[in-house]
Amino acid sequence: MKFCTKFDSISGKKYISIDTKGQAVLTNAIINKGSAFTKKEREELDLQGLLPPAVSSMKIQLERTYENYQANANNLQKYIYLTALQDRNETLFYRLLFEHIEEMMPIVYTPVVGEACCKFSHIYRKPKGLYINYNDKDQIEKILYNSNITNPSIIVVTDGERILGLGDQGTGGMGISIGKLCLYTLCAGVAPSGTLPIMLDVGTDNEERLADPLYMGLRHKRIRGEAYQEFIDKFVAAIQKIYPNVVLQWEDFLKENALKQLARFRDKLCTFNDDIQGTAGVVVSGFYGALRITGKAMKDQRVLIAGAGASAQGISDLIVSALMEEGLTKEEAIKRIWTTDSKGLVTKDRPKLEEFKATYARAVDEISNYKCSNHSKITLEEVILNAKPTILIGTSGTPGNFSKEVVTAMTKVNERPIIFPLSNPTSKAECTPEDAIVWSEGKAIVATGSPFDPVLFNGKKYRIGQCNNAFIFPGVGLGIIVAGATRVTDGMFLEAAKALASQVTEQDISVNAVFPELKRIRECSKFVACATIRRAVKDGFADSEILENMEKAVENAMWFPSYLPISYEP
């Protein structure tokens, strides 16, 4: 089926032109209206008799679907229900999410999407996106042509090896690609007709998945080394040939692969990694918000990161950029960051340090002055008491990592410690916001990676800002699309961080929240998109002409889930 949006020359209003009639119209989720097709449309499109006679308004459809949504017994069943709705009527699906965004966003993405990925092969209903498996490595171009999305604006691709904090889920990782693209549409208005999720299946090392008779992926251990890279190279080459203008987002790859692919391709096509750059953008934005509460300057911050994965590298690198912008040299900025992993504080005397860890490792002569029980493994609490960081970030995926002793130590060295336990889903958070606030006697400024309820302590309300990448990457993607940018730079994410921080209101600050409320996310995405466009032009990757009517261009590009008239035009 071919369809496109047109303008009526007489009325000046938009409508959708299609070249198909009958049942095919009802099975195309992008144009299907279900019971909302008008009497005239039913006659013109040969839908008479295929639908109950009553014509429903969008309002009635929303009441019906929300009633059915609420009837589901648990969150996974709600996820399945919403997925089925998306499969049959994308406009209604996104409008329902839009009307209940705070309630439903945790269902279609973290934390519930994690459970959905784990159970993917058991809850599978209908294909969506593209599955490119290693055995088809010589047919990738053909597979791309098989997609019904002929000219995507954004692709999200994963190989399923590091799904949230849940590890290797094999082909179940497709749920992440689908979920991320859902957020592009919901949060920034990227049209769903231009989004394409892709799963690269190279096997799985998850024994539970391999032993599951219902598992739908390749049943062998992961392909690695040169063979894996050859597969990735062929995939990227096919993307460049068939979709030369698309934005390619890498998602939930193992740390080493995530860093390698970003470095390998970032200067060859319009691509970025949300786990690295998107996470960094939203975290740094949270810093700017928190500093409005502490009254301190960015240049005076000292940052301790618990967890030394790909996201930690992205965060560290963007912090360095932010500090350098305020006058520090690169060397001075690097020295403001401490990292820990399962072996304790990362130090330069460790053998075979990875490049990222080596960059931020602490010198031996420095730690020799630390007061601690064992200099060969300096604990998180000991790092805090010796280094005196102002900000503590958790990307470890280790629940309980921020113990009472750790939080108390942060309170000892700071009047208002900034503590971000970011690991998700919720079960992987380093501590709960309530624990951080209670243990710090209400002094901690807290933001989390997953949604948490507000905390009441000593009669004061603490709204827990969600350090959610959805505040950053959809707006960045929208800006790249509108600008026609040819590359994605780290500077775009720094500008996006500032733009998001500018949307934190005095009301947000009054309840100790360092991020806007989720219900304002589309508004925030506009500011992020505009900041991205300005930086794309500054960096030389977009034409300056876009700046003339930038805000209007962004607004016009944002798809909103409402029905348009449909006309048959063969």
In this structure, are residues 201 and 134 in contact, taking their beta carbons and an 8 Å threshold?
Answer: yes
In this structure, are residues 270 and 236 in contact, taking their beta carbons and an 8 Å threshold?
Answer: no
Identify the helix (H) or strand (E) that includes residue 191: none
Q: Which two three-digit tokens encode residue 40?
A: 């005239």
Model confidence pLDDT, tens digit, residues 291-306: 999 999 999 999 999 9
Q: For 131, list phi and psi in degrees, rounded to 5.
A: -110, 115
Sign of CA dihedral 37, 43, 45, 49: positive
Q: Which amino acid is at 513?
A: A
The whole-angstrom separation of Cα 493 and Cα 262 is 15
78, 119, 128, 180: the catalytic one is 180
The whole-angstrom separation of Cα 77 and Cα 458 is 37
The whole-angstrom separation of Cα 243 and Cα 144 is 9
Model confidence pLDDT, tens digit, residues 201-219: 999 999 999 999 999 999 9
The string of DSSP codes covering 446-483 is EEESS----EEETTEEE--EE--GGGTHHHHHHHHHHH
Q: Which residue is it, tokens 């989390």? A: 448
Q: Is the pLDDT of residue 470 over 80?
A: yes
| Bridge partners (DSSP) listed for residue 201 | 133
Pick the closest to residue 85 from 192, 200, 188, 184 (CA basis).
Answer: 192
Model confidence pLDDT, tens digit, residues 120-174: 999 999 999 999 999 999 999 999 999 989 899 999 999 999 998 899 999 999 9
Model confidence pLDDT, tens digit, residues 65-122: 999 999 999 999 999 999 999 999 999 999 999 999 999 999 999 889 999 999 999 9
pLDDT of 165: 81
User: Averaged over 33-61, what is the pLDDT?
Assistant: 97
69, 79, 94, 109: the catalytic one is 109
The torsion of the CA quartet 23, 25, 26, 30, rounded to 10 degrees, works out to: 160
Pick the closest to residue 33 from 81, 97, 82, 90 (CA basis).
Answer: 90
- pLDDT band at 452; cut points 50, 70, 90: very high
Residue 205, burial from CB neighbour count under 10 angstroms (0-12, 13-18, 19+): middle
Length, in residues, of the chain: 570
CA–centroid distance for 283 within its chain:
12
Identify the helix (H) or strand (E) that includes residue 90: helix 90-99
C-alpha gyration radius of the chain: 24
The whole-angstrom separation of Cα 66 and Cα 519 is 18
The whole-angstrom separation of Cα 549 and Cα 536 is 15
The string of DSSP codes covering 217-282 is S--SPPP-HHHHHHHHHHHHHHHHHH-TT-EEEE-S--HHHHHHHHHHHTTTSSEEEIIIIIHHHH
User: Averaged over 50-58, what is the pLDDT?
Assistant: 98
In the annotation, is 69 catalytic? Answer: no
Identify the helix (H) or strand (E) that includes residue 306: strand 303-306
- pLDDT band at 518; cut points 50, 70, 90: very high
Pick the closest to residue 508 from 247, 293, 341 (CA basis).
Answer: 293
pLDDT of 558: 98
Domains belonging to the chain, first-starting first, are 3-56 (1.20.1370.30), 104-269 (3.40.50.10380), 278-471 (3.40.50.720), 489-557 (no CATH)
Q: Which two three-digit tokens encode residue 298?
A: 């960015």
The whole-angstrom separation of Cα 559 and Cα 441 is 45
In the annotation, is 2 catalytic? Answer: no
In the sheet that holds 418-421, the strands lie side by side as 344-345, 337-341, 303-306, 391-394, 418-421, 445-448, 465-466
SS3 506: helix
pLDDT of 215: 98
Q: Is the pLDDT of residue 9 over 80?
A: no
Q: What percent of the chain has pLDDT over 90?
A: 92
Pick the closest to residue 116 from 82, 68, 155 (CA basis).
Answer: 82
User: Averaged over 421-446, what is the pLDDT?
Assistant: 95
Average pLDDT of every residue of the chain: 96
Model confidence pLDDT, tens digit, residues 367-393: 999 999 999 899 999 999 999 999 999
Q: What percent of the chain has pLDDT over 70?
A: 100
Put simply, whether the predicted model's pTM sits higher than 0.85 gets the answer yes
pLDDT of 426: 85
